[in-house]
Every structure is written in structure tokens, then in C-alpha cells.
Structure 1
Amino acid sequence: MSAALALPERMRAVLLTGNGGFDKLDCRDDELLPRPGPGEVLIRVAAAGVNNTDINTRIGWYSKAVAEATQVGGASGIAGAENDGWSGVAFHFPRIQGADACGRIVAVGEGVAASRIGSRVLVEPVFRAEGAALASAIYFGSEIDGAFAEYAVAPSRHAHAVDCAWSDAELASIPCAYSAAENMLTRAGLAAGETVLVTGASGGVGSAAVQLAKRRGARVIGVARADKAAAVRAIGADRTIDRGADLLNELGRESVEVVIDVVGGSQFDELLQLLKRGGRYAVAGAIAGPIVSLDLRTLYLKDLRLLGCTVIEPTVFPNLVSYIERGEIRPLVAATYPLNEIVAAQQAFLEKAHIGKIVLLF
């Protein structure tokens, strides 16, 4: 390991000790400092975003035995949940979670240029060896330790240098939410002039999708609570629809080319009916519930494409960095909390009163 300065032996970190409630989050100040292996870098984390995936894993929501919305067990966990990670493989505890990391490289492993030390970086949260199959992907803060600690290790190729004047909190808003949103838009092939409907448009992924879709020159319709509609329009939505409204009544059948969905639940059938023939539905979340009803006639008679999106395309993260550096996007930071107040941060996240991202600062 090569380092530019002396490093401590121990660090502050939050360990997830099992599936369940907030009591499974163990804030410690004596966790051993990780060391970068070949091809890896050690990052001094400055800020880390809070995401649905952190809570989903803690409460056991990825278990196939669970059919509830993510809100149901957010505070206490979900009874009957089995220990499944997002990939279907059993999750290993304890684990340092956190998919979003902004910080600086302080040490490098074998094969990584020492000149990388000192670089301000964002960590691309889904790791996959170049050319490797989707099945080989692992998630930062899930299969390996992540950003809810003062220091974190990541592959050098997934630690992207970024040159901008943004705050640490703003940068930490990008990795998970914006890569998920840009990945859905990329997979769906959203083009200028098309109309896209974005569900959950005031949340982290939804607000990112609104901005990124507008950047592509699309007409953007955001679904959000009425009290958040003005903020969603301010970041690029051409129109907003109240979360509880009848979408078919508001827009009419076959009115949009693309749906970007992170909500799922009972509105799924409506969303497919909104799509024009040849339309594309992309999904990267199901906060209102993972079990939906599908009329196969709607799917095949309209020649629709349904796109599940987790592992991001190779172009997505480099493109996001370029958008940042050219000033083409700007995240919404709803609130910040110190690392040791992670429970309060997750409680605020679960209340869904915020717009944009909630971020932990170090």
C-alpha cells in the first residue's frame, strides 16, 4: 500500500449487524482501517448519501417472502423476511453499508499509480470487471463494505476523478440515484422530443430522472405529491400530476413514449396503458410494493418493452461526471446529518417529506 500521509489504525463506521430495525445499526469508533488490495484505492470519505437500498437491505425487503411496500418495515424490519441480498444470495453481517461515496484518495494498492493520491473522486456503486457478465456484479455497501465509514476501499477503475466546485454533500447525492436514473434513460433510449413520465419525481432517483430527461430534450411529466409539485417543475418537469390522481384520466391512454418507474405497486397496470405502441417501461425500484398485476395482452399487443435496470451500462457513470463538470445538472440536497445520526437520517428518509437527497457528512 502506498500512502501520502500517516493513516490511523481505526476509524468511525456504522455496521449493519443483521436484518431488523434501527437497533441493527451499530455506530462504532474502533473499526479497523481497511487496506487497498491490487488495483484498489483507499478513500477518505467526506460524505455519503442515504438510499432506499440501505433500508431495503436492513429490513430484509429483498427477500422473496416479502410483498409489502418498503415503508411497512422501515423502522422495525419485516416479519418473516429471509436473509436475501438484492442478488438473491444470502447477505453477510456485519456489513458497512452506503452506496454513495464522495471523498479523496489517500492510499493506493499495487498496480495503481501513486499520482492518484489526493484526487477527489466519486465511487461508481456497481462494480463489474471490464467485459464481465451481469451476474458478476457486486454492489458497494452490499457485497462489500461501503461508504458509511470514514474510509472505504474501491476498485481504482470505479473511483472516478471529478473536477468541480460542488460541495461534498452535493457530490455524494450523485452515485446511486443519478446512475440509476441515467441508466434507465439510457436503457429506454429516451430521445429529444419524446414524452416521459417519471414516478416518485420528488425523491432521489425521481428528481435525478427529471433533470436528466430534460437534459436530453424530452417533455417531462413528474408524478409527485401536490406540496412538492412546484419544486419538481423547478428542476425541469413540464407538468406535474398529483401522486394520488387517476393517471389515465389526467393523460389519456397511449400518451407517453417512456415510463421511468421507482414506485411499482398498484399503479403498474395504468403505467403500461399510458405507453404508446412500441413504448418502453424502465424500472429500478418498487417502493409501493414489488408484486404487480400484468395483463400480457397489453404487453404484446402494444409491442412494449419492459426493462429491469440495476447494473449500469459502462457509459453511464463517465457521462454523469462529464455532466457535472460541464454544469449541466445540479442535485437537490434536502438535509445533512453527521454519521452518528444515521438513525435520524433514515427516519427522515422514511417520512418522505423531503425533496432530493439526504446526506451523511463526516
Structure 2
Amino acid sequence: MKAAVLKQLGSPLVLETRDDLSPSGNNVVVQLEAAALNRRDYWITQGMYPGIQLPTTLGSDGAGVVSKTGDAASSWLGREVIINPGWDWGNNPKAQIEAFKILGMPIDGTFATELLVPAEYLHEKPSHLSFLEAAALPLAGLTAYRALFTQGRLQPGEKVLVSGIGGGVATFALQFACAVGAEVIVTSSSAEKIATAIRYGAKFGYDYNGTDWVGEANTQFGPVDLIIDSAGGAGYRNLLDLAAPGGRIVNYGATAGPPPKLDLFKVFWKQLHLIGSTMGTPEDFSAMLQLVNEHQIKPIVDETLPLIAVNEAIERMSHSPQFGKITLDCRD
């Protein structure tokens, strides 16, 4: 087998040849057909992620075929699968336990030709998806689903803002919300990404660097019931202004850092709900797949590169030009 291994922070991944994997018990070996990148992979290479352990094979997203099984997992042999990247969530659906792990550090991940996986984290690949499309789904799809539905309690017909459109989670949030009949607007600093989002169902899009985009959005669209945000930062005050009375703001990241000022008067006077969210439970993952199957949703794949070009793919993540997901062809 081959694996793209991060050995030193700030250095390129090294494509290593290793012994083929052998499963036992309830474990299986997945012959990976495709993997996908997340911003998490880039942050780890830069040392900007907690609890980094090296060396490690990066990659949280993958799809492939079960090529070998332990005795207790023989029913999976030969099946096309995708992998839930959130391991050991725990018994409390409200939040993960301390032992929760994400595939791709510290556990060796999907930037490889083979992967050892406990059978409990396997799911049938949606039949309407190619391996590349399926590989794009797990981490970002799970995060978007939990933010929208489990934490955000989205209902059909509600108005939704998805900020920073273009990244994997934001793109899935747009697709999922539109699929259930919500009305969606987006923000971006890229006119091209806004135009693409509108082609995928957004009603309007706004440049978050604009001087009065909130006023324009209120005039065109009205206050929003649910806001899905990964940025935080100084722009968070605009979200408080755009949220409808009783609205929910769900944050699954803080790429722009903490808000320099939080106007608590607006929070309590507008009866707002500020909610945190990350990844999701096994039940969230199953429900996400049910939504994808029911509505025949196809992940948006921006670009596909061979596994040998994994460092080029990670470099692209550093300046976020993509709309949707960057995927890797893992076939040897």
C-alpha cells in the first residue's frame, strides 16, 4: 500500500510504500478509490491544530471497496462504502467526549490506498454517487447536517444565511437547506462564488466586505431565521443585525477569530440563540446519508488530483479558491 505521511510540520507529505494492511475481529480493510481534503488537513500541516501527533497519514474523507475483513465483519466483504470520520463520540448526543477522534490524525487517514476501519464506521456508498462524489461527503456533510438540523433545528420554509460560501461545509449547508425547502442567501468576497451559489439554489448573495450588505439583504430578503457561520471575527456583529427576533446563529468554526465585541443587548433584546456545533454523532451521520439519498444530492467536486499530487492539493487549500471539494484519486 501507499500512504501520504506528514512527518514534520511545514514540510510536504511523503508518499511512502508500506506493507499491506491485515484486519482482525470487527475491523476491515477498505481499498480506497477516492479521498477528499478538508481545511483541517491544511491547518495540521501548519501546526495550527490542537493535539498534533506525528508522523501521521492525513485525510478524513474516503470511499472505496472493502477488500479484507476480520472474522466478525465478513458481511462487509466486497461492498462499496464511505467512512464516518468521527470516532468514539460517546453516549451523549449533545456533545462529544474527550476521547473523540477524527480520522486523519491521530488515526492514520484516507490519503492512502488502503485504510483499516472498525466496521461500525462503515456505511453503504449512496448508489447515485461516484466514488469521488462519495468521498467528498463525510466530514463536511456531517458538519453541515448537524449545524443545520440537529443544532439549528431548520424547518422547511425558513430563511437561512450561509456565510463564506465556497468551502465544503458551507456548500453542503446550501445544498441541504435548499433540498428541504428553505430559502437561502450566502456571503462571499468572490463575485464568482456568489454567482455559482445562485446557480445551486441561493436566492441572493452579498459581498461581506460591502459597506451595507446587511441593509441590502434585509431589503431584498428580510431577517433570517437561521445563520450558519464559520468565521466569527469582526463580521459577527452583522449576523446579529441580520438575525430575525428569536433567530439562531450556529457557529462551526472561527477562522476570523473571536468577535472583538459582542453586543449582548442585541442578543437578549432580540431573544437570539447562539449555538456551537462541530462534526456530529453516528445518528447525525446516518440521517445525513438518508437526506442525501432521499433528495439525490450530489456533492460539488471542484477539482480532482491523483494521490501523488496531494501536496499540490493541500497548497490549493491555503488560499481557498475552490467552490466545493478538492478530491484525490487514490487508485494505485
Normalising by the residue count of structure 1, what TM-score does the alignment of the two structures yield? 0.83
Shift in Å, 1:292: 4.5
Contact 2:6 2:56 in 1 (8 A): yes
Q: Residue 283 of structure 1: which of 248, 251, 276 is its match?
A: 251
C-alpha distance in structure 1 between counterparts of 2:154 and 2:101, whole Å: 27
The within-5 A match list for 1:241-252 is: 241-245=206-210, 246-252=212-218
Partner of 2:70: 109
The within-5 A match list for 1:1-362 is: 11-20=1-10, 23-28=11-16, 30-62=17-49, 85=50, 90-112=51-73, 114-128=74-88, 131=91, 134-135=96-97, 136-186=99-149, 187-224=151-188, 225-245=190-210, 246-252=212-218, 255-290=223-258, 292-362=260-330
C-alpha distance in structure 2 between counterparts of 1:344 and 1:17, whole Å: 17
Shift in Å, 1:159: 0.8
Contact 2:236 2:259 in 1 (8 A): no
Shift in Å, 1:313: 3.4
Secondary structure at 1:147 match in 2: coil
Shift in Å, 1:110: 4.2
Greater CA drift, 130-139 or 216-225: 130-139
Aligned AA for 2:79? Answer: S
Contact 1:164 1:324 in 2 (8 A): no
Shift in Å, 1:125: 1.2
C-alpha distance in structure 1 between counterparts of 2:25 and 2:301, whole Å: 35
Aligned AA for 1:61? Answer: M
Structure 2: runs of 5+ lacking an equivalent: none
Shift in Å, 1:195: 0.7
C-alpha distance in structure 2 between counterparts of 1:296 and 1:35, whole Å: 55
Distance 1:232 1:311, change over 3 A: closer
C-alpha distance in structure 2 between counterparts of 1:306 and 1:212, whole Å: 21
- Runs of 4+ with deviation above 4 angstroms: none
Distance 1:274 1:154, change over 3 A: same
Aligned AA for 2:15? Answer: C
Secondary structure at 1:54 match in 2: helix
CA deviations over 1:4-42 (Å, ceiling 9, x no partner): xxxxxxx1111111322xx242222x2233433432221
Contact 1:282 1:309 in 2 (8 A): yes
Shift in Å, 1:59: 1.1
C-alpha distance in structure 2 between counterparts of 1:189 and 1:198, whole Å: 15
Tell me the C-alpha RMSD between the 2 structures: 2.0
Aligned AA for 2:96? Answer: L
C-alpha distance in structure 1 between counterparts of 2:177 and 2:199, whole Å: 14
Contact 1:45 1:147 in 2 (8 A): yes
C-alpha distance in structure 1 between counterparts of 2:134 and 2:65, whole Å: 12
C-alpha distance in structure 2 between counterparts of 1:311 and 1:39, whole Å: 24
Structure 1: runs of 5+ lacking an equivalent: 1-10, 63-84
Contact 2:90 2:96 in 1 (8 A): no
Secondary structure at 2:170 match in 1: helix
Contact 1:44 1:106 in 2 (8 A): yes
Partner of 1:68: none
Shift in Å, 1:234: 1.4
CA deviations over 1:316-338 (Å, ceiling 9, x no partner): 22123223333431111111101
Contact 2:63 2:125 in 1 (8 A): no
C-alpha distance in structure 2 between counterparts of 1:288 and 1:60, whole Å: 17
Secondary structure at 2:72 match in 1: coil
Normalising by the residue count of structure 2, what TM-score does the alignment of the two structures yield? 0.90
C-alpha distance in structure 2 between counterparts of 1:172 and 1:43, whole Å: 13
Corresponding pairs, count: 322
Percent identical residues? 31
CA deviations over 1:260-279 (Å, ceiling 9, x no partner): 01222221121122112221
Contact 2:29 2:115 in 1 (8 A): yes
Distance 1:141 1:37, change over 3 A: farther
Aligned AA for 2:7? Answer: T
Distance 1:44 1:295, change over 3 A: same
CA deviations over 1:239-261 (Å, ceiling 9, x no partner): 11123223322224981111101
C-alpha distance in structure 2 between counterparts of 1:170 and 1:54, whole Å: 19
Contact 2:32 2:62 in 1 (8 A): yes
